[in-house]
Amino acid sequence: MQLPVEAKLKEKGIVYRLIPLTANAYTVADVVKFAQSNIDPNEICKTIVLCGKKSGAQQAVFLRGTDKLDFGKLKRLFGEEMAIATAEQVKESAGVEPGAVCPFLLTVPLSVDQRVLELDRVNCGSGHHLFGLEFQRADLARGADYTAIDASKTQLST
């Protein structure tokens, strides 16, 4: 079976690895638990589709899996309050339900949190619930148009 994202990655010359999962993964802990090969939890990223509360305009944000969105920053960046898209809106803009969203397959603008850009390798949704996608972070720009932003909450060190 070839996933839709594979054709795009091959066309762009992006080296990748599909990671089979034994069940649908929605959290970093799920990905680690269900992955059928070793992955680094620090490299797991997620794509969250957002919707403007006034305009209804959709936007996707790609951030590290353990990071949380800062909705105050998002309001300043996008000029309005943003809400997490419904499952129906996610399916419309990403072609899949939440949990499998792939940054390479979106039909809405993509913003990438600056913390993702510090990674060497990324593991994320592939567009299929039973496969993760791993690639070199530098290849993200080859496969997707995006804007780099600061969208996550500042993590306090302990």
How far apart CA 41 and CA 34 sit, in angstroms, is 12
How far apart CA 16 and CA 25 sit, in angstroms, is 19
Would you state the pLDDT for residue 130? 95
Would you state the pLDDT for residue 157? 47
Would you state the pLDDT for residue 158? 41
Q: Does the pTM of the predicted model rise above 0.75?
A: yes
Class for the domain spanning 16-149? alpha beta
Would you state the pLDDT for residue 26? 86
* Cα distances (angstroms) measured from residue 86 to each of 7, 50, 58, 103: 28, 9, 11, 17
- Each residue's pLDDT expressed in tens, for the chain with a length of 158 residues: 799 999 999 999 999 999 999 999 988 899 999 999 999 999 999 999 999 999 999 999 999 999 999 999 999 999 999 999 999 999 999 989 898 999 999 999 999 999 999 999 999 999 999 999 999 999 999 999 999 999 999 665 44
